[in-house]
A and B are shown apart, each in its own frame.
Chain A
């Protein structure tokens, strides 16, 4: 064990820091959920990142990456969050589909999709869930009917984040009409502006849009858009979900910065706080560090050739619960002002804690609910009998 950064890693950190200092927009960008304008501002930022080859540092150079390892990715993320850089509007693409494409895509598919993804030219949404297929994803009913060199897509997807403004979606479809459950599914890409696609925004808990329903009616896409073999969709989705829960979706830096801001908030209001709040603030710091250390150890293991397993599920539970706890603590510090939204004159910047709190409530739901994750941990990690 050697828990020191190499000279090369330190130099890399400085390089990232210098680039971000020179390039991160000084004012926060408008939300990518609320308006086309905000979405496009984030796309522009993705373009800028990719111009510096900073879009996905772990990707091969030919697709706009730097071929760096996961420790360097963590360093990049630390600097990225430290700099307060914009949220990644293409997170479903770069963090989820990207690694999956790398594993399952043909060379032609990689060439077609990865570069445009890294540059933000094509922003992706995930279209897996359906009204009747949430936790029970294998219950998807949307169909992909093969006709010559094309698939004809039909069905109804729901809760697709950023689909309102995104360009493409990767969807899970039943390609074998007689099949059931996990069999006969395929992962197929479709443009969100294709004829027959209708996207309808769904207002979220705070009244803002953020996810959408997608209605597909005889949408024709080339068979080229299928990732992996026909019928391999479930297997591919589970690999993607592993990336999602395990590593990429929520890097530790996000929570370490939230914990730091929480400590700053506490210090500002220390005189009004009591030991219960103080303890919760310390807990937030410890949890964020525990998460970071755990991810560093996973990253080391993966670099050495290990595979991500059921511990992806433990990560997802840990960060989602930590996120809620941190935001609840911040609201406890804000006291009477906790309920105010940004428009309230007495709220100011502190309203971001309430916004963050609402979003944190979704954490135990998306990317596979925490109840489902606990079942996975119990059955696959601990070997308990299946219920």
Chain B
């Protein structure tokens, strides 16, 4: 038993954090928003050059063969920075899903190769999501129409934009069945891969939410030290201290759940699913509370467009229902709680 990240895991995350500290400041976010571009090419190129797109794909399939626990801190860092580009869903969810499909069907290998090389991104539909994120910039789309799953190139689909309140989310639905496909198979045959994708999606969303929560608290703390009212920094008032401290307590008690969920994700059993869902539910709550708290601590500033908190508030709201909302995940926790042994010796059950 050793509940610590390895030096390598920490180094990977620190490298991403360092890059984002350079290239993903709030001013960078605002610049991208004003340009209307889908991505910041400089930042995206730098991220691609880190080679993380193959992180979760097996080495024999051209990836790095890393585990979710190796990627979870990267996802958290992306959340904290409010990264607009789809590093987490691309590398953490969609590319490994494509790899699963390619392995099962023998088709689509060239798309996987391009994705691993960072030449294209992969966008994936999933029954639990109402939309496909970042489909407009993807070179390969895993699409669902009725009970069929397709791997398609962008020319085969007609996308309908579904505007999110988060200015950086690019959500789409399909207007029609894909006109052609590299792979097509009944949804039922892809179920195991979709289930695995869901677990990764929920886990990494939880990690991003924890990062968002921390960023919201950090912004609130920084402002409360600066903003003076009644001759003192507002952070000196207990009411303000307690607001921020309460949010921080939530964050402290979701991080270990997320990390343990990351370690358990490869188990693919009722316990790992429950733990991922636990992480997703609590991370959504922590981010929701932290963002609302940050707005409150900023006063009217927090309700203005000028202060950055709203970027995080909106991302938190979006991710709360992305890869399964609270209802969905509560049901998975219920399956574990009401159907399996409980108690003090059941913290790390084996399936």
Contacts and interface: CB of A to CB of B under 8 A. Distances in A.
Interface residues of B, number: 47
A276 interface: yes
B191 interface: no
Interface string A342-371: 011111000000100010011011100111
Contacts of A274: 327, 330-331
Interface stretch (A37-45, A127-135, A260-268): A127-135
Interface in A17-51: none
A340 B299 contact: no
A331 B171 CA distance: 18
Contacts of B269: none
Contact of B164 (A324, A339, A366, A371): A339
A360 B238 CA distance: 24
B327 A341 contact: no
A338 interface: yes
B327 A339 contact: no
B235 interface: no
Contact of B162 (A272, A273, A347): A347
Interface string B296-320: 1001101111100010011001101
A337 B325 CA distance: 11
Given A339-B318, A374-B239, A205 B325 contact: no
A335 B327 contact: yes
A136 B230 contact: yes
Between B129, B238, B317, the greatest number of chain A beta carbons within 10 A of the residue's beta carbon is seen for: B317
Secondary structure class of chain A's binding surface, majority of residues = mixed
Interface residues of A, number: 49
A365 B162 contact: no
Given A273-B327, A346-B173, 19 more contacts: A139-B229, A202-B306, A205-B302, A205-B304, A205-B310, A206-B305, A335-B325, A336-B129, A338-B320, A339-B169, A340-B165, A344-B162, A344-B164, A346-B130, A346-B162, A358-B165, A361-B313, A365-B300, A370-B296
27 contacts: A129-B300, A135-B299, A136-B231, A139-B229, A159-B300, A202-B304, A204-B305, A205-B305, A206-B165, A207-B305, A272-B327, A273-B327, A276-B327, A328-B288, A335-B130, A336-B130, A338-B317, A339-B314, A341-B164, A341-B165, A344-B164, A344-B171, A345-B160, A346-B173, A354-B165, A361-B292, A361-B313
